[in-house]
Amino acid sequence: MGNKIFQSILDEKVENFRLAFEKTSKDLFWNAEEKKLIHPGEYGTYRESVCKDFLRLLTPHYLDISSGFLINDSDEISTQCDIVIYDAKSTALIENSDRQRFFPVETTVGIGEIKSNLSKADFKTAINKMARNKIMRESIKTPVALKRDSYGEFSPSEYHYDSIFSFLICKKLDFNIENLVHDINILYDSDIKPYQKHNLILSIEDGLFAYFDENDKTLMFPFHRGKALKNRFVKPDSNKNCHFNYFSSYFFLAMSSISILYPEITNYIMDWKGGLNQSEK
């Protein structure tokens, strides 16, 4: 049946998000005469800030939302992530002199890409970028769970909540999406495995790309019980916010359920040489 108070607040947040993302950002940073963006860097920052404000409604309080780079104890670093959702209580402040932040994959639960209108080529680049970044969690040497809803061994390829949740939010997919549910898989690089693919793609104007299982249930994971799932497109019709409702429900479930691991800083330190040890005889 639902709850009127929650739905009213969600609808209000969605409308504010639409307005800020689609109109206000353009009014602030678009030069109509020259038909180009003014200060594109600030425009991107504003757009990400608008998304963060919306996502806070759907994110458990113990998690925080930022932007930056992922790192792991195999000396890998991700490309820059527009959105990083992480366990604030268990993550050290790893920041350089330029205030760029770096987040251990152990305590990162979600990553997101925030875009405006996306061409097919840019869409392909974005989804492959997310896949490459979430793969980094597979290299953890000694996974120790701080929060995990499974008793088996840590395995992003077998248990979907062990993998980082990846999502893309854009204003519009600026190409023919009529057959995208059938064609999206071929846009991934050939070495990307099903469990490494996106979780949700939210286009404000178009709808939501998710998945479905053998029972025709819409899901947020690209695989279930070791089997790759088929893609599903949820398009708004009489309810203009139905795709936001799906996204909100699945996003909160994911943020509440993704495994959080202990970031063993000892494994991140590379150089232990050069010291002198004195021991009691």
> What pLDDT, on the 0 to 100 scale, is given for residue 39?
52
Residue 2 belongs to a domain: no
For the whole model, what pTM was predicted?
0.91
Residue 144 belongs to a domain: yes
Q: How far apart are CA 157 and CA 195, in angstroms?
A: 6
Residue 226 has pLDDT above 90, yes or no: no
> What pLDDT, on the 0 to 100 scale, is given for residue 135?
96
Which amino acid is it at 32? A
Tally of domains within the chain: 1
> What pLDDT, on the 0 to 100 scale, is given for residue 232?
96
Phi, psi for residue 36 in degrees, rounded to 5: -155, 165
User: Considering just the CA atoms, what is the radius of gyration of the chain in Å?
Assistant: 20
Instruction: Find the mean pLDDT for residues 28-37.
Output: 56
Assigned token pair, 34: 């020259």
Residue 280 belongs to a domain: no
Q: What is the pLDDT of residues 64-74, one digit of tens each?
A: 999 999 999 99
Residue 226 belongs to a domain: yes
Residue 191 belongs to a domain: yes
CA distances from 105 to 59, 147, 212, 215, 269 (A): 18, 14, 27, 33, 15
Residue 248 belongs to a domain: yes
Q: What is the pLDDT of residues 37-59, one digit of tens each?
A: 555 556 667 788 888 999 999 99
Residue 114 belongs to a domain: yes
Q: What is the pLDDT of residues 17-26, one digit of tens each?
A: 888 777 665 6
Residue 228: give the domain boundaries.
Answer: 58-268
Assigned token pair, 42: 């600030």
User: DSSP 3-state assignment of 252?
Assistant: helix
Residue 17 belongs to a domain: no
Model confidence at 227, pLDDT cuts 50, 70, 90, reads: confident
